[in-house]
Amino acid sequence: MTVADTHTEIASFTPYPIKHLPVRVDLGSESLLIEWDNGHESEYHYLWLRDNCHCAECIASLTREQVFEICDVPETIKPQEAYLSEDNRLVIEWDHADHSSQYHPGWLFSHCYSESALAAKQWQPKVWDKEAINQFLPTNTYLNIMQSDRHLLAWLKNLRDYGIALIKNVDTEPNTLIHVANRISFIRETNFGTIFNVQAKADANSSAYTDLRLPLHTDLPTRELQPGLQFLHCLINDAAGGESILVDGFKIAEHMREHYPEEFKSLSSIPMAFYNKDKHSDYRFRGKAIVVDENDQVVEVRLANFLRGPIDVPAHQTLALYKAYRCFIRLTREEEFQFFHRLNGGDLIVFDNRRVLHARNAFDLKTGSRHLQGCYIDRDELLSRIRVLERDAL
């Protein structure tokens, strides 16, 4: 077996290239240690190893879903014997139920959970300000995205990392947006429909459907799960004004963490209320404006002043939240963070709605027409599509 070999007969549909080979196994009381040919050491606990057995008794061969449950073996389970086979697999003969397990080296190395391995796997967004995104706005063409999986994958990875990407030369027929979105996945429907038309109308149920200026915001912060990706396809835009303004909310959050740590702490720990109501619906959610994960990395921004309800936190937090909120809004108004982009007919801009705040200037319908179509796709669909395209490319 060479380091270029892959293996798909495991509890996944993803091949795992063998980048490194195990050279030694040391058994301890609760775990074993594997040394790899690059000097890296991985500790695997016995319960973890038994839980991840890939044999036909433990994994359904059709769905590759686990049928084994870890509670069906003793908590003290351990190997009677553990060794490396001739084909570089870790083989374990367990001390319970005469069970045997084998672990493919590519899969095992990629699932190492040492601190250094976990840190290396942590996704790092490429944050940007005005200067950075003006130098590099991820861009591709409609023809490439529709006809080439290779171009689609590169564009989607940039969209994931930068939170924003552009497609040029898109057909301006209404609903062309559906074909582009379906290259990723299905569209998320909301109370604004599957495809929504961003144009001024007399019976508007959102400020987006007027000719007014829209302040920087994320869409639908009133939902438990804000939409992930937002698509905006320009069919026509020859009216004066209406320029789009976009700001990387992750950049603002990290700037606050560095320069205004108390305000960052307030926005990432104290929730605020958001309301979205009309004659037929009433959506409300309380959430933090800045969301961090278990590694304290910013993973979501939730903000829309025109959809914010009254501050409703305990008295000792009220002024702190106002101070932090004002700080965030003030920073988004600074020119160094704002990316101005005028959408023209045939442009389709896509951005991470749980990261990038967007706005638009007022426009004058006396000078021309402005019609955009939009839709949403959840982040999960973006990440799934990337993984499948990467798997197929191996």
Q: What angle do CA 373, 378, 381 make, to 5 degrees?
A: 115
At 393 the pLDDT is: 84
Q: What letter represents residue 176's amino acid?
A: T
Q: What domains does the chain contain, in order, with CATH numbers?
A: 22-117 (3.30.2020.30), 130-393 (3.60.130.10)
Q: Is 177 left (phi over 0), alpha (psi -120 to 50) or beta?
A: alpha
Q: What is the pLDDT of residues 133-179, one digit of tens each?
A: 999 999 999 999 999 999 999 999 999 999 999 999 999 999 999 99
Residues of the chain with pLDDT under 50: 1-4, 202, 204
For the entire predicted model, the pTM comes to 0.91
Structure tokens at 369: 């027409």
At 207 the pLDDT is: 57
Structure tokens at 131: 């200067």
At 31 the pLDDT is: 98
